[in-house]
Structure 1
Amino acid sequence: MQVQRNGLSGNKSVTMIVMAMILVLLLAACGKGETKGSNTGAGASATPEATQQGNTAGGTETRTIKDAYGDVEVPGSPSKIVVLDIGALDNLLELGVKPIGAPSILTAGDPYPSYLKGTEGITNIGTVNEPNLEAIDALKPDLIIGNQDTHDGIHAQLSQIAPTVFVETLGVTWKKNLQLYADAVNKADEGQKLLDAYGKRIEELKTALRGKDAIEVSLFRPRADKIQVYLKETFVGTIMEDAGIVRPASQSDAGFSKDVTEEQIADLDGDVILWFNREPDAFAKLEQSALWATLKGAQNNAVHPVEWEYWLSGLGIQAVNKVVDDLNAFLVKG
């Protein structure tokens, strides 16, 4: 009888062991099924979201735009922007975007052009021609905006600091530049609105000028060692061309500028003479020349100094509108 009891007990033990093993296997299978289902769900939701938003590995939304060097991946909404020239500063401020860093025109630390509003608190980063890389790096920007003509030599170094968007050149390409700047800061629509508003102002100026006799407008810059006549392929030359303003024959050539001597002073003549410079005594010297009094613009008291900060160095949409203001004042109202 003892043997029989031991056999029954052994059978029960075997049965319990088998049932326990089956339970373990079932639980393991359920666990694997849940894990697989969870991973599939995360992958399905994460991948489309990253594709739609263009996220980086760090989770920051980005966009790809094309600049002078090719495709550049920029933040979706950059908030710490450094600009390397006054045209970019001008345009961004008008777009409602305040850079954290910008250069002076001539000497590091000089005030920004007085026609620009809202520059308080912007860190100076040197000059347009010599930006301070250490100062830029210290600001930890998330976007740098510059131009290939001036800053090609430091493009690679700047690109190590932050995504860098460069236009090709300045001045004559100011409309194209505004569009790229606006795209870089995710305000393309606002940039187009600024250009549309400019186009409307130009049409109004052209209409006003049609009611007047043809006026030839001379534009030059007296300098310490020469007189520089500004031609069509310049920042202000494009604005005058858009407005249909006639230039003297000697100033109607393609190109940026040409130098003339005091003996060639007749090349400076026009019904209206506009001039700008940074050298305070250069115009006074020219005005004292015996040949100056032979110019019809001088004889008619139609000689007007204009502000070099925006006629020469502005290069942005705010400067453009200041130039249009002056053209209205001197050619329509004056």
Structure 2
Amino acid sequence: MKGVWLVFPSTQKFNHKFNLGVIGLLGVLMLGLIVGCSNSGNNGSSAVAVTPSPAAANSAENTETRMISTIKGDIEIPAHPKKVAGMLYVFADHLLALGIEPHAMVTYNDLGFPEYLADQMKDTIAIGSGEAPNLEALLEAEPDLILASKTLNEANYEQLSRIAPTILFDNENEEDWTRFRQTAEIFGKEAEADQIHADYEAKIAKVRDELAAAAPNETVAYMRIQDKQLQLIQPGDNFTLFGPLGLTPASTDDIDFKDSWNVAISEEVLPELNPDRMFIILRPGDSNQTALDNIMSTSIWTNLTAVRNKHVYIGDANLWFAGYGPIGLSKVIDEISGAYLPES
């Protein structure tokens, strides 16, 4: 039997005789409904199913919790978190890839939300940089779950935990896709994460074959402009250009990296590298742009093979050095592919 609402009129609006008539009529209706209910139902059952109202269902969902194991022990978190805060900028990429808009998020250093994600974070509350989070702003944001980094946040873990349940990840040395899947596990989205990873691997394989056909045997130098310096990146440090995509780095045998992943170089070193293509990642800021402009105004620059062939590509540090989630990784592949195959 379907539910029926009976609305009783206020007795103050009708006379006594009319009220008696109404009551009598309602009594007959109620008797008929009771008989009807007793004769209906599934397989003769007289039980009546009660469906919670949407408000009650939402309330139950918001208060449901589960236990999760972390490096700080077992903690209780919402089963269905609605207001997730991230204390490391890569969490923004992870969450958005999983279809979750962050409620509050630290910025990439002093550069704000990464440009490649900003249009998807219009309602996200900024809570300072990852290196200097604004805990007062985080408190005002009232998150119901905080994703944090052991490296950056262990010192203030207790403060964070008093604001909301806090998961401290100790995985910054793990492979990027491992980190992404660990984030996905918090939200029960492992299957989605695995599919996103599979799609990325298929994309890598396709682009690798296209580049091998389009530019065989070409050499590549990977650099960045930061702190007004031109810095050369160790070829082994970039997993995309010289790893999965299989591009050939320009020889750096004469470069002393001093056990670092990058080293500042002068423009006089560029002719020694003289790569066929150059990827230069520019950190925002007038001083860095000026440094690049000064290098590009020299005769050394204009005589480089990559420059003469118009094979120099300027990338955004917000993406190339902060985009270590699925969205950023995929966009970097798009930029590399577009550099080699502009018509595509």
Task: With the length of structure 1 as denominator, give the TM-score of the two structures.
Answer: 0.72
The one of 259, 265, 273 equivalent to 2:270 is 265
CA distance in structure 2 between the partners assigned to 1:102 and 1:93 by the alignment: 12
Specify the code of the residue in structure 1 equivalent to 2:252.
S
What does 1:24-35 correspond to in 2, within 5 Å?
none
Say if 2:115 is the partner of 1:114.
yes
- C-alpha distance in structure 2 between counterparts of 1:127 and 1:76, whole Å: 28
1:324 aligns with one of 321, 330, 333 = 333
Long gaps (5+) in structure 1: 1-57
Residue 66 of structure 2 corresponds to which residue in structure 1?
62
Alignment of 1:31-46 (within 5 A): none
CA distance change for structure 1 residues 314 and 169 in 2, over 3 Å: closer, same or farther? same
Per-residue CA deviation, residues 166-185 of structure 1 (Å, 9 max, x unaligned), is: 33465873222211111122
Decide whether aligned partners of structure 1 residues 106 and 66 sit closer, same or farther in structure 2, where only a CA change above 3 A counts.
closer
1:200 aligned residue = 202
**SS of equivalent residue, structure 2 residue 289:** coil
Identical-residue share of aligned pairs (%): 21
Deviation at 1:72, TM superposition (A): 5.1
Partner of 2:302: 293
Question: Equivalents in 1 of 2:294, 2:205: separation in Å?
Answer: 38
Distance 1:301 1:247, change over 3 A: same
Task: Kindly state the Cα deviation for residue 247 of structure 1 after the two structures are TM-superposed.
Answer: 1.5
Q: 1:143 aligns with which of 142, 145, 159?
A: 145
Q: Which residue of 2 aligns with 1:78?
A: 81
Q: Structure 2-normalised TM-score?
A: 0.70
Letter in 1 for 2:231: Q
For residues 36-90 of structure 1, give each alpha carbon's deviation from its aligned partner in whole angstroms, at most 9, with x where no partner exists.
Answer: xxxxxxxxxxxxxxxxxxxxxx9733142445x6655533222111012321111
Superposed CA offset, 1:164-205 (max 9, x none): 223346587322221111112221211111111110100101
**Aligned partner of residue 227 in structure 1, secondary structure:** strand
Counterpart CA distance in 2 for 1:219 and 1:298 is 14
Query: Can you give the 5+ residue segments of structure 2 that lack an aligned partner in the other structure?
Result: 1-61
Q: Does 1:308 align with 2:317?
A: yes
Does the CA-based 8 Å contact 2:87-2:147 persist in structure 1? yes
1:10-51 deviation line (CA, Å, top 9, x unaligned)? xxxxxxxxxxxxxxxxxxxxxxxxxxxxxxxxxxxxxxxxxx
8 Å CA contact retained: 2:251, 2:273? no
**1: CA distance between counterparts of 2:138 and 2:178?**
25
* CA 130–86 in structure 1, closer or farther in 2 if over 3 Å, else same: same
CA separation in 1, counterparts of 2:96 and 2:168?
A: 18
Equivalent residues of 2:115, 2:319 under 8 A apart: no
- One-letter code aligned to 1:282: A
What is the match of residue 13 of structure 2? none
- Offset at 1:250? 1.4
CA-to-aligned-CA distance 1:220-270 (integer Å, 9 cap, x gap):
112344221223465xx1222112122222189886322223332346532
Please name the residue that 1:94 is paired with.
97
- Counterpart-to-counterpart distance in 2, 1:268 and 1:282: 19
What is the alpha-carbon root mean square deviation over aligned residues?
2.8
Larger radius of gyration: 1
Note if contact 1:76-1:186 (Cα within 8 Å) is conserved in structure 2: no
Q: Aligned equivalents of 1:214 and 1:87: distance in 2? A: 34
List, as ranges, runs of 4+ consecutive aligned residues in structure 1 with deviation greater than 4 Å.
Answer: 69-73, 169-172, 251-255
Q: Which has the higher helix share?
A: 1
